Structure formats: C-alpha cells, structure tokens
A and B are shown apart, each in its own frame.
Chain A
C-alpha cells in the first residue's frame, strides 16, 4: 500500500501498467497467470492445512484459538444457509464456508504493501507479479462459473430437465410470449455469474488501483492516505467475501425451489 520507489513517480503509467500485469505464460486465452494460480493455491493450501489440523483434533470441551475462530465462522455461515436455503442440502454449507474464507484471504492479499511482493520477486528475477488473485478475472469467474454450474445442476435436480426448459419458455410472462421469455430468463440466469464475477473483480481491482495511485504520491502523504484506505479496505474485502457467499447461497436456494 505504500513505500513507493523513486523511479515509480518518473513514469506513473509504466509503474501502474507494470503492477497490473500478471506473470503469465502462453498466448491469448491460453495464458496461464502463474502468480494468480500460485497465490490462490498457496492460500487454498493454507486453508486446507489449518482445516486438517483443526478438524483432526476437535476439542468439544475446551475449544481454543483457531478452533474457536473456525467455529464462529462456521456457525455464521451455517446460520445464513439455514435462514436462506430451505430444505436440506449438505453441499451448500461447506461451499459457502469455502467461498467466504478463500475469497477473504485472497482479498486480504491486497493489504500487503503493493510494492513489497513485486520488488521481492524482481530481486529473484521474476519480472511481473500481481499478488491479489481476486484482481484477476480468471479467479472471480472461476468461482462465478462454478456457482453457475451448480445453479444449473440444482435447477435440473429440483425441476427436472423438462421443468428447467419450461422455466426458460414460460417465465416470466406465460405461454404467449415464449421468445421474450427465453431472452428474459437467459439474461436473468447469465446475469448471475457475470454479476458475481464482475462485482468481486471490480471492487478488488479498484481497491488495488487506489493503493497504486497512493503509492505514486509523495512519501509523506502516503502514510495517512494509505493507512486510511487500508483500514477502509478491511471492510471492503470482508464485505465482498460475504456478498459472494451470500449470493451463492441465495442463487442455489432459488435454483432448488421446485416451482419457479
């Protein structure tokens, strides 16, 4: 968030472009963003390690530290699922928990000073590094499309294939406006993953950009501005993780209602 280097202010455009470039291999669509994959995988591994360690030695009598934290998050997610999602489904809870924690941690990478990781990477010869996986559309749409796939599966499971097709044909205007219905419902359905993916991406990208702009300012204004924005950003990253989780539950709840 701070500690701009002297040459950064010389060519702000280059500086920002450099910071917004992923470390990638491949061409066109088949570009693999190694930094996104690395940090996403690293945080996922961290979650798995902690989950495994805590889940293996649960203490019902005297829960301590991390177990308390995870219990609190789990209960929070579970209460959301119970209030929104009617009917029993075993996947929604763990799905919501995973989205919340993983997205939160990926967002939280934004709070690491913007220049720290790229500089360290440069020292060991890595030219580009974008440390926040959720500022990459690849990550946000990976989540959004996974949820979209689940929405389709849940729809078919609750309504059957015929019922799902009928939903496109007769919703929302009845059987006399079938072409309009198809367009409307398709837009409605497609808007779900697109809005999920773009909302998270947009918020995190904008946050990152503001950190970069702050980093271009003279060093003595970076402290109050960077600090203030970082504090505000704690709210943003939590809120975005929560919204993504909540909308996932809401969409899946809607998809699993038998009559639409």
Chain B
C-alpha cells in the first residue's frame, strides 16, 4: 500500500512504451491517415471535375447537334430551292424548245402549204387552161384570155 521503488520500474516501462507507440504506431498511422484523407479529397475533387467536364461536354454536344441540325436544314432548304430552280429552268427550256419546235414545224407547214398552193395553183392554171382550151376549143385565143386567167389564178 506504499509507494515503492516499483515506481521507477513502471516509469521505465512507461517511457519505453510511449517512445515505441510514438515511433511505430502513432507516426506511421497518422501519416497514413493524412495521406488517405488527402487522397480521398483529391478523388472527390477529381470526380467533381469529371462531372463538370461531362456537363460541359454534354452542353457542347447539344450545341454541335443543334448546329448540325441547323446546317442540315439550311442545306435541305437550299437543295429544295435549287431543285425548284432546276425544275423551273427545265420548264423554261422545255417551253422555249417546244415553242422553237412548234415554230419550225409551223414554218415547215407553211412552207409545205405554200409549196402545195404554188403547185396547186400551177396545176389549176394549166388545168383551167387545158379545160378552157378544150371547152372553148379553138375560139379562145390564149393570148387574149391571159388577163382573165391571171385574175383567176390570183383568186385561187
């Protein structure tokens, strides 16, 4: 029940124990925990950053898609415009070509008609002359009837 020299023995044990715990448990463990804390904080920060970057990327992707859509719409509109232009042009060309063809055909026809008229007229003249000469026999002088015939021919 008294304080005895045991005190010094226990003190020695205590000092050794404190030193040992300090060197072999406290220091490495606090170091490790500090490192771990830092790593966790870094990891969380990285995750946060990643999330932020992902958000940015999503926004950018949406922008790109939007832009592309707009561009595509523009291209389609242009193409439609161009298409209708081409159609218009084609129509125009076709019409002029048609008209040209029609005109040439008409002029051909006219030429044909004229030629036919000409030949018919000639034939009618000769026929009428031949008919008249046959009907009137000799009495008709070709020379004196010539004015009459010419009138006739002009009227045809």
Closest chain A residue, CB of each to CB of B25: A51
Give complex CA distance A60, B38 in Å.
12
- Digitize A12-28: 1 where CB-to-B-CB distance is under 8 Å, 0 elsewhere: 00000000101010100
B1 at the interface (CB under 8 A from A): yes
Give complex CA distance A29, B32 in Å.
45
B5 and A60 form a contact (CB under 8 A): no
- Which single member of B13, B15, B21 contacts A51 (CB below 8 Å)? B21
B13: A residues at CB distance < 8 A = 37, 40-41, 44, 142
B144: A residues at CB distance < 8 A = none
Closest chain A residue, CB of each to CB of B26: A94
A137 and B2 form a contact (CB under 8 A): yes
A154 at the interface (CB under 8 A from B): no
User: Of A48, A102, A142, which is in contact with the most chain B CB atoms at under 10 Å from its CB?
Assistant: A142
B5 and A31 form a contact (CB under 8 A): yes
Interface size class of A (residues with CB under 8 A): 35 or more
B26: A residues at CB distance < 8 A = 74, 93-94, 97
A36 at the interface (CB under 8 A from B): yes
Closest chain A residue, CB of each to CB of B18: A98
Give chain A's interface secondary structure class.
Answer: helix
B75 at the interface (CB under 8 A from A): no
B35 at the interface (CB under 8 A from A): yes
Nearest CB on B from A248, distance (A): 11
- Digitize A42-67: 1 where CB-to-B-CB distance is under 8 Å, 0 elsewhere: 00100110011011101010000000
- Which single member of B15, B24, B30, B35 contacts A78 (CB below 8 Å)? B30
Count of residues in B whose CB is under 8 Å from the partner chain: 32
A93: B residues at CB distance < 8 A = 26, 30
A71 at the interface (CB under 8 A from B): yes
B2: A residues at CB distance < 8 A = 29, 31, 137
Taking A71-B29, A74-B26 as contacts, is the C-beta distance between A143 and B14 under 8 angstroms? Answer: yes
Taking A60-B36, A74-B26 as contacts, is the C-beta distance between A98 and B21 under 8 angstroms? Answer: yes
B87 at the interface (CB under 8 A from A): no
B148 at the interface (CB under 8 A from A): no
B14 and A146 form a contact (CB under 8 A): yes
Give complex CA distance A139, B35 in Å.
37
B29 and A138 form a contact (CB under 8 A): no
A52 and B10 form a contact (CB under 8 A): no
Taking A40-B10, A60-B32, A146-B11 as contacts, is the C-beta distance between A70 and B3 under 8 angstroms? Answer: no
Residues on B facing A (Cβ under 8 Å): 1-11, 13-18, 20-22, 24-30, 32-33, 35-36, 39
In the complex, given contacts A40-B10, A139-B10, what are 16 additional A-B residue pairs having Cβ atoms less than 8 angstroms apart?
A29-B2, A32-B9, A36-B9, A37-B6, A44-B14, A51-B25, A55-B28, A55-B29, A56-B28, A58-B28, A78-B30, A95-B18, A138-B5, A138-B7, A142-B9, A142-B10
CB<8 Å pairs between A and B, sample of 8: A48-B17, A51-B21, A78-B30, A98-B17, A133-B10, A138-B4, A139-B6, A145-B7
